[in-house]
Amino acid sequence: MSWPRNTPEPEVTPEQRVEWQQRFGESDRALGFEISKDFKPFAQINDMFTRAFWDPAIKSADSDGFFASYRMGSEPRRGQGFSQKDFALRNASWVISDIISNRGNDTGMREGFQSWIAEDTPVAPTQVEVPDAAAQTAEIKRIAKMFGADLVGVTEVDERWHYSSRVDTRDLTQADNTLPAGITHVIVMAHAMDFDLVETYPSALAGASTGREYSHEAAIVIQVATYIRNLGYQAVASMNDTALVIPYAIKAGLGEYGRNQMVLTPEFGPRVRFSKIFTSLPLVNDQPKPLGMTTYCHSCTKCADACPPKALPKGPPEYGADSPSTIKGVKKWSANCEKCFGYWAKLKTDCAICMRVCPFNRTYDSWSDRVWRKLATGRGRKLAQWWENRNGSRERLKPADWWAKP
């Protein structure tokens, strides 16, 4: 079923609001989620990457060139990190993800981005018994890590964060986004991006850190979902599609929300991509605890200061709803996505300067990184900020220096 792209998101009924309050009120309070009566689930047709195909306010020669550059040998631009070789590496990093997402071109299901990943294996007719959901949870986390996930958490299905409709990419209409029946849990996985590549943002070279993880996660979600279906349980593999992954990653205890609009994880800071699996496998939800990173953001503006088009806010979280691409009724730091994407389009590659400069973007291999984290997330926050500022701004690694590494 599909409907026109300009159909507004459906209103939330008073009954739905009461039900959500009963089911999620307590966990929202624990997580610090503030949701107003204006809240509506988000329609994916309004996300910036989809608007770039139909909204005249966004679609331009620059945005068309941005997408085209991922599919062909891109014209080099002036500046280090934008040579044909840099674009070549970035495009190679994306190719596995592209192969998966292009499988559904004929059905309008751009898998992993505007549709969940189609099942490659049927659900086995007999179910493996799960006498102990806690043991099953530990086991599925081990399996996900064996396939390559860096962090794994489990949470309940929370349909507030599911897109009210997905996008039929054949004609850019809205299409039904209902998951199969019986899904109860979401397994959220984080995939760490390469530290040195991220240090070269902004550059086409740095885009290889993003593409590499999308290609990794495409393989990992398919493998984990196939394992679960072979056990006789439903499992739907998902990347950026189907639901907003940020609230799910926070609910699964993987991190906290940052001013740069990313989830800050204790292990990698914001340097991660997320994927998810919707499943009926009996599991036990993780119980997130305060991590102290959002608190740090309240007295830091490094990401906003470094953003070239000044797309990030410097003030406190707000119920921002000026842009169709911002979810309504959620109090949070929201970027001006039009300015952000406009900058990407001009660069012809993604920008993540706000990830690179974040003080939590560290490897945590050294004792000093770990001491800094301890201070930054606790009572030593001011000392951690002084320490960070004393070291000056985080300079970009020159792409030529990345290529010259042994």
Cβ atoms of residues 35 and 28 within 8 Å:
yes
Closest CA to 2 of 152, 175, 230, 181: 175
- Of 162 and 259, the one with the shorter C-beta distance to ligand SF4 is 259
Q: Can you tell me which of 154, 239, 351, 384 binds ligand SF4, judged by CB under 6 A?
A: 351
Task: Name the segment binding ligand SF4 (CB under 6 A); options: 140-148, 246-254, 316-324, 335-343.
Answer: 335-343
Q: Does 273 bind ligand SF4 (CB under 6 A)?
A: no
Q: Can you tell me which of 144, 353, 375, 397 binds ligand SF4, judged by CB under 6 A?
A: 353
Considering only residues 14 to 33 of the shown chain, the ones binding ligand SF4 according to CB under 6 A are none
Cβ atoms of residues 238 and 101 within 8 Å:
no
Reduce the DSSP state of residue 81 to 3 states and report it: coil
Round to whole Å and give the CA distance between 178 and 171.
Answer: 19
Q: Does 49 bind ligand SF4 (CB under 6 A)?
A: no
Cβ atoms of residues 50 and 167 within 8 Å:
yes
What are 172's two structure tokens? Answer: 């850019």
Q: Does 205 bind ligand SF4 (CB under 6 A)?
A: no
Min CB(355)–ligand SF4 separation in Å: 7
Min CB(150)–ligand SF4 separation in Å: 19
Interface with ligand SF4 (CB under 6 A), residue total: 25
Round to whole Å and give the CA distance between 188 and 253.
Answer: 9
Following DSSP, what letter does each residue of 314-380 receive, concatenated? -S--B---SSTTS-TTB-B----HHHHHHHHHHHTS---HHHHT-TT-----SHHHHHHHHHHTSTT
Whole-number Cα distances in Å, 183 to 277, 366, 403 = 10, 41, 46
Q: Does 335 bind ligand SF4 (CB under 6 A)?
A: yes
Task: Name the segment binding ligand SF4 (CB under 6 A); options: 72-80, 125-133, 217-225, 352-360.
Answer: 352-360
Closest CA to 167 of 64, 240, 62, 63: 240
- Of 277 and 335, the one with the shorter C-beta distance to ligand SF4 is 335
Round to whole Å and give the CA distance between 88 and 155.
Answer: 38
Min CB(343)–ligand SF4 separation in Å: 4
Task: Name the segment binding ligand SF4 (CB under 6 A); options: 21-29, 106-114, 165-173, 299-307.
Answer: 299-307
Q: Are strands 272-279 and 263-264 parallel, antiparallel or unpaired?
A: unpaired
Q: Does 274 bind ligand SF4 (CB under 6 A)?
A: no
Min CB(294)–ligand SF4 separation in Å: 8
Q: Exposed (0-12), middle (13-18) or buried (19+): which is 310, by Cβ within 10 Å?
A: middle
Q: Does 307 bind ligand SF4 (CB under 6 A)?
A: yes
Min CB(50)–ligand SF4 separation in Å: 17
Q: Does 311 bind ligand SF4 (CB under 6 A)?
A: yes
Q: Does 249 bind ligand SF4 (CB under 6 A)?
A: no
Q: Does 359 bind ligand SF4 (CB under 6 A)?
A: yes
Q: Does 372 bind ligand SF4 (CB under 6 A)?
A: no
Q: Does 266 bind ligand SF4 (CB under 6 A)?
A: no
The residue assigned the tokens 């291999």 is: 365
Within its chain, how far is the Cα of 124 from the centroid? 30
Q: Does 343 bind ligand SF4 (CB under 6 A)?
A: yes
- Of 58 and 340, the one with the shorter C-beta distance to ligand SF4 is 340
Q: Can you give the binding site for ligand SF4, defined by CB under 6 A? A: 258-260, 296-297, 300-303, 307-309, 311-312, 335, 340, 343, 351-354, 357-360
